[in-house]
């Protein structure tokens, strides 16, 4: 199936690792030219993509919490590759703290999560949207989470930030639709990412030592119990949905929140 992405420019925030890197790689497999935005080693990810997929790829070091840095990243991207056709926004953090209940956290534990996950999304949208509006075309896909839909107590700041992101993406979709720009959200379920492991490890470690299983056995049992399909989701599966929603095959899809969660939310 030709997704019509060959030669187009895709910016992937948080593209140096995890789901962001999987998305960048999947876009590259479709022939997209890739711009990796990341606070980490964006150029290393770009080199890997160039080597593996033989497409143009550049890395831009950017902190999405810095409005001026994001604007500068857009300017550099336009200068070096000419346009931004697609945006996949995966940059996000968790609080590193554990809820159940929320009073296990302090109000100060919220600030960084909201700054990265909410204001980072705001900065990126404000910087990228005018470029797409000027060209009357483009797509944005934001990485959400099922935690933003069910009031997950696991990491309350993260859950709240993802709920805000889902809502803001719908606002963007309504505002930008008259300009030919589509906006959607993809919500992963249970993916073996570094962020997921840090949260689940804290959950696992709360068990009494005498009752504690190994982390792998405990987490696999939990997945089988709460995910109807009975297995972890993969970063590649999330990337496939991001890429599809960005493609011409999804030209009538906007303002949607699509779960790739093995049925988790249905089960909840």
Predicted confidence at residue 267, as pLDDT, reads 65
Contact at 8 Å (CB) between 82 and 8? no
Q: What is the DSSP code (8-state) at residue 76?
A: H
| 240-8-25-185 Cα dihedral, nearest 10 degrees | -40
CA distances from 18 to 50, 57, 150, 250, 265 (A): 18, 18, 23, 24, 22
Q: How far apart are CA 267 and CA 247, in angstroms?
A: 30
Question: Across the strands, what pairs with 11?
Answer: 35, 87
Q: How far apart are CA 178 and CA 133, in angstroms?
A: 9
Q: Where do the structural domains in the chain lie, given as residue ranges?
A: 9-189+233-256, 192-232
Contact at 8 Å (CB) between 166 and 186? no
Catalytic residue (one of 53, 158, 244, 264): 158
Domain 9-189+233-256 in this protein, CATH class: alpha beta
Establish whether 158 is a catalytic residue.
Answer: yes
Q: How far apart are CA 107 and CA 130, in angstroms?
A: 35
- Along the chain (268 residues), what's the average pLDDT of each consecutive run of 10 residues? 93 97 98 97 98 98 98 98 98 90 95 98 98 98 96 92 98 98 97 75 72 80 88 96 98 98 84
Contact at 8 Å (CB) between 189 and 140? no
């Amino acid at each position: 199936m030709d997704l019509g992405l060959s030669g187009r420019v895709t910016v992937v925030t948080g593209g140096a690792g995890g789901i962001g890197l999987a998305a960048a790689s999947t876009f590259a497999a479709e022939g997209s030219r890739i711009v990796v935005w990341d606070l980490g080693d964006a150029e290393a990810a770009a080199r890997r993509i160039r080597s593996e997929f033989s497409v143009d790829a550049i890395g831009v070091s950017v902190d999405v919490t810095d409005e001026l840095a994001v604007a500068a990243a857009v300017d550099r991207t336009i200068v070096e590759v000419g346009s931004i056709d697609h945006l996949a926004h995966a940059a996000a953090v968790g609080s590193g703290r554990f809820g159940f209940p929320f009073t296990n956290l302090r109000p100060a534990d919220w600030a960084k999560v909201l700054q990265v996950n909410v204001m980072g999304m705001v900065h990126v949208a404000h910087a990228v949207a005018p470029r797409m509006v000027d060209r009357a075309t483009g797509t944005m896909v934001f990485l959400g989470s099922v935690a933003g839909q069910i009031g997950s107590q696991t990491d309350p700041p993260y859950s709240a930030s993802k709920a805000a992101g889902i809502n803001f993406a719908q606002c963007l979709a309504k505002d930008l639709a008259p300009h030919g720009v589509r906006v959607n959200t993809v919500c992963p379920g249970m993916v073996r990412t570094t962020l997921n492991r840090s949260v689940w490890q804290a959950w696992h470690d709360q068990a009494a030592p005498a009752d504690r299983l190994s982390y792998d056995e405990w987490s696999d049992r939990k997945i089988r119990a709460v995910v109807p399909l009975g297995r972890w989701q993969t970063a590649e599966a999330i990337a496939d949905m991001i890429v599809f929603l960005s493609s011409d095959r999804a030209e009538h899809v906007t303002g949607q929140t699509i779960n790739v969660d093995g049925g988790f939310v249905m089960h909840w």
